[in-house]
Amino acid sequence: DGEGDDLTGVKTETRPKTKRPPLYKVLILNDDYTPMEFVVHVLERFFGLSHAQAFEIMLTVHKKGLAVVGVFSYEIAETKVAQVMDFAQRHQHPLQCTMERE
């Protein structure tokens, strides 16, 4: 539990190892062509956001260039990115979605 004892009997404190899995931010990037309503739909559909939340994040991306949509484990983040990229491609929109370690 983080308490050690060396050969001389001196207490040696170490941090208890409570290793959490790394988290990944999923980001949506702005572009000049993807319709705003499409981005809002993507955020509702794949990230479970309300229409109001989705609209707000879409506008942030439009104005600032990108925004974090959510934070997930590696596997979930990877799935979200793949789902968004596939959906955008199928609709022939250049929308970009990426992930980055937090």
| Position 81 contacts ligand TYC (CB under 6 A) | no
CB 26, min distance to ligand TYC, A: 12
CB 83, min distance to ligand TYC, A: 15
Residues in contact with 55: Cβ distance below 8 Å, sequence separation at least 6, in sequence order: 40
For residue 43, what are the CA distances in angstroms to 5, 14, 63, 75, 88? 53, 43, 17, 18, 12
Tokens of 93: 């929109």
Site for ligand TYC in 36-55 (CB under 6 A): 36, 39
| Position 26 contacts ligand TYC (CB under 6 A) | no
Task: Catalog residues that contact ligand TYC under the rule CB under 6 A.
Answer: 28-32, 34-36, 39, 58, 61-62, 95
